[in-house]
């Protein structure tokens, strides 16, 4: 994963590769990661809003959908 994606935080991968390659990598991860992985993948897309968030297992932060826009909830502490 670290060869094709940027990992800004542990188990958080951000795509920087061509869309077709990113789709294949995400499919591969879904086949080979367990639900304990807590993996979050951000992939750029040509459609609005310009990204797609995938997760495998239960990530540490809650993910919500607001009018089709995927967001990750951050506490205001």
pLDDT score for 63: 82
pLDDT score for 50: 84
> What rounded mean pLDDT belongs to the chain?
80
More confident residue, 31 or 61: 31
The residue ranges of DSSP E strands in 1-77, in sequence order, are: 5-9, 12-15, 39-44, 51-56, 63-66, 69-72
Q: What is the mean pLDDT of residues 54-66?
A: 81
Q: What is the mean pLDDT of residues 49-74?
A: 82
Model-level pTM greater than 0.75? Answer: no
Q: What is the mean pLDDT of residues 20-30?
A: 83
């Amino acid at each position: 994963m670290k060869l094709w994606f940027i990992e800004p935080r542990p188990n958080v991968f951000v795509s920087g590769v061509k869309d077709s390659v990113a789709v294949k990598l995400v499919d591969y991860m879904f086949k080979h990661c367990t639900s304990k992985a807590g993996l979050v993948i951000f992939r750029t897309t040509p459609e609005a809003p310009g990204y797609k968030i995938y997760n495998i297992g239960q990530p540490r932060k809650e993910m919500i959908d607001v009018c089709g826009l995927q967001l990750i909830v951050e506490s205001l502490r």
